[in-house]
Each structure stands twice: as C-alpha cells, then as structure tokens.
Amino acid sequence: MDTTLREALQESMGSISHSIAVTAALGLLMILGLVTFRSVMSEIVLPGIPQFKGVPILGAMPIYFKHGMPQLLGSLIAIGEDGISYANVVNNVLVSVHDPAMVKEVLSYPEEIASREGDIGRMSWSPFWTLRRLIGESLFNYVGPDTSHHRNVFIREFNSTKSNAEKFSTISQIAQEHANMLTGQAKVAEVDNIRYSADNFAIALWGETLYGNPHHYIGGRVLDLSETIITLAGNPWPSVWYSIQLFFKMVTPGEPTRTEAKLREKVAKVIEANFEKLEAYEKANPDAPLKTIRNLSVMTGGGRTGPLSKFAAEFTNLNLFGGHHSIGLNVTWSLIELDNNPECLKKLMAEIDSVDTNDFTSVNSKMPYLDAIIMEINRLHPTVHATLRVINRETKLTASKKPVVLKPGMLIYLSYLHLHTSPEFWGPDSYKFMPERFLGNYDKSKPFMSFGYGPRNCVGYKFATLAAKVYLLTLLKTYDLQVKEHDHEMKLGTLLETTKPVAVKVSHRF
C-alpha cells in the first residue's frame, strides 16, 4: 500500500486509535441497525422478492465489511432467480438488479428518480458519496437541465469520429514513446508489471491531450493519487467514519472531512501545475489548435485564455483518477488473454500485417478482429464491473415479473460482470475468451454494457477504446510479448483488476 493511501485510510478514522475507532463505528452502526431492524420488523420491504438476511440487526453489513461489495452482490445474485433480490445493510436497503431488462430500466431513470449519489446529508454506501468529497462536484453529480448540455460537450470532444481522428497522431506518438521505454536500448527486457506501463501511457496521453503536458505521469504522483481516490471511494470505512461525524454534527453535510480536505489539496496542486503547463503552451503556440481542456472550457462559457470554465475546472479533478484505468486495464487483460490464446494472437497479427496501422480510418473501422478482441475483453473483464443508483423518488420497477416498488434511499446495484458472463445469456462457454462472438452480425440482444446504458452512459468510451487499441497495436508491432505466468485472476474491487502484477518479457521483433 503506497504512503498516500495508507495515510488517507488511517486518517479517515481520525486521530484516535484504530481499535477505538472501529469499536465506536460498530457501536453506532449497531444502534442504526437496531433502528432499521425494528422499523422493518413490521413490514416486508420488498414483498415477494428474495431477501439475503445476513445476521440479526446488522443484516448483510458484516459480509460487506469483511469481504466487500462484490461478494455481497454475488450472494444476492445467487438467490435472485428472477433477476432481483435485496438485503439490509445497517440503515440502507441494498437491492441487486441483475436482469437485463430491469437493469436497462433503472439506468434509464431520470435523475429525479434515481441518481448516483442520493441525499448528501444521509448516510450512503454509494462510492459517489465519498467521491464528491474527495474531488468536488463533477459530471457524476450533475442533475437537471445542465446535465444534457455538458454531456453533449464531452461527446463532441471524445466520442466523435472527427475529434478522435484529430487526436490519432498524438495517441500514436505517445504510444510509441512509451512502448520504447519498456526496453530502452536493450533488445530484451523483463517488465515487472505491464499495467503500470499501460497506466502511465494513458496518464501521459491525457496530460498531452488536455494540457500539452506529456510528462504528466513522471514521478508517479498522479498514479498514486488516482489509486488513493479509487480505493477510498470503494472502501466502506470512509462512509462509516463520515456517517459518525454526520451523526454527531462534526461535519457539514457534503463537505469533506479534514483528511479528505488534505487529499483535495494534493489534487489541487497537481491541477495547478497542469494549468501552468497549459498557459505556457498557449503562450508559446498562440496559433496552435486549442488543447482539449481549453476547448471544453470555451464550449461551456470560458475564454480562449485565462481561467477555465467551472465545468472544465471540475473535469480536471475528475480526470485525475478517471479515464486512464480503463485504458490500462483493457491493454493488460488483452495481453493476458492473447498470451493464453495463441490462435487469437495469430489471427490478430495477420490482420495487423494486412492494414496500415498508421492510418486512423484503418485502425478505427477496418480492423474487425481487433474490434472483436476489445469487445470480448470488455465483456469478460469490464473495468467498471458494477454500478449503482440511489432512488430519490418512489417508483415502480415495471420490468420485474413481480410487483416491485422502489422507495427513496434504496441503493440499486447493477452488476455488468454478471450480465456479461452469465451462461443464461451467453451460453455454456460464457467464461471463455472468444472474440469471434463479435464478428459479423453478432447477436446484439445479448446484454453488453461495459460503458453503461441510457442517458448516463460513458461520454468518452470511443476515445478510451481508440487509445487502448493503438497502444496494444504498438506493443504487438514492436515486441514479441510473453506473459510470465498464466494464472492471473480477477480481483473485484472498485475496479476489476488482476490479483497480482502482470510480469511480461518483451523482445524486439526486428
């Protein structure tokens, strides 16, 4: 565990000792759990829907704290034969929705009915509740009419063919630079963790694209901060500790704790340094096309120079931890699966040799087997393997086979990984890596939601996918790669990662 993360987790429990903090937290949670237990004794929260009861008073909380949300979701999915089940987690009702039609319905709800965060003054297990305090407001938290406009700005910048074609040469250049770093002047090198290299490529790419700062990754500060933010957002203890402080009115609802404020100061310093790079670039290149963050700013009311718009400034915080992990993990899992399936690698290399990979159109739309590989990686190993919504207004879940009324405060968890790997939807070979699933006229009725669904789907997935494709191609054109071990498994945390570092031997092809 890196120093920043260790300090943040320790300080999230305050200056008192860990054992006292845990005791206090559990004591308060038992009180809250007892209140919840008594309130639900007289009624069934979701009549006719399977309930995972856990232990008396605390419900499923011990499982969540000991094993994490993924295992709890697994238990809920196992009992929810009709695609829905629920459990009490202290003072919250957690509902697992894992039927494709119901998942699409929940993801289509407007923010007035279901949002990512819910009431900022009420205890919530939503990672977005913690995330707001760590990085401030962002597109994740937006509700109302501004949401559509700001989403459309992102889509024009990151999901349009024209915009990505303009970014292609930058992606290719940085991909080659980072591929070359793997061996330097040597012909062969042992890479301890290829994901570290892929993440740094993505961080450098975002730094150059946004600010004109390709050295954004140097020193590891961005990666360390990113890992800290992601871990804290997905860890239950920051939510517990914050809830205790809310209960005793030690914090203003929605405002960061002292520790969280310190982390935000570290984020602000990185952003400030990037903005200085941006201003220096703009001064030295007055006639050059605008960098992406400036373009986003202009499209949302900012000037061509000077301070960024409020929206663009918020994105600088969001981008510090978001965006590069999807690229890095895509590349990492691709190398693992291709190494385990040499016949797939052979087909891909034949396709690589048959097209001009320096041409945007070829890479973007004339490499069907590469596209199929990326789709299959996102099916088997979706970086964001689950998401949630917090119910804000009572509503009926119409896609359910049984009557279901979702009530304010309920947390609805949606497992993409389950939808992507269930034999019910994908057949008996659902866990097998088979890019051929996505060749030709593949069955689009099968549930595939790696980038979300509906009005809140990912606004930058085409840029991220293009970046992952280019870096993967660059690695394969430059090197013969051998993944050192063949027992890599998935670790379900905030993101879907590998259980251990992925060591790779790289040898120059020519």
Annotated binding site: 458
DSSP state of 59: B
Distance between CA atoms of 293 and 391, rounded to whole angstroms?
Answer: 33
Q: E strands along 80-229, which residues?
A: 84-89, 92-97, 114-115, 188-191
Crossing angle of helices 310-321/221-234, nearest 10°? 90
Residue that is written with structure tokens 């660059």 in the block: 474
Residues pairing with 491 in the sheet: 497
Nearest of 1, 245, 20 to residue 130 by alpha carbon: 245
Burial class of residue 265 (count of CB atoms within 10 Å of its CB; 0-12, 13-18, 19+): exposed
Indicate the annotated binding residues for heme. Answer: 458
Please, are residues 314 and 139 in contact by the beta-carbon 8 Å criterion? yes
> Residue 481 — left, alpha, or beta (φ > 0 → left; ψ -120 to 50 → alpha)?
beta
CA–CA separation, 252 vs 165, rounded Å? 46
Query: b/e for 272-309, b at 16 or more Cβ within 10 A?
Result: eebbebbeebbeeeeeeeebbbbbbbbbbebeeeeebb
The C-alpha atoms of residue 362 and residue 368 are separated, in whole angstroms, by 10
Q: Which residue has the tokens 């042992």?
A: 190
Contact between residue 49 and residue 402 where contact means Cβ atoms under 8 Å apart: yes
Between CA 178 and CA 327 the distance in angstroms is 14
Buried b (16+ CB within 10 A) or exposed e, 395-427: bebebbeeebebeebbbbbbbbbbbbbbeebbe
Residue 278's nearest CA partner among 304, 299, 300, 301 is 304
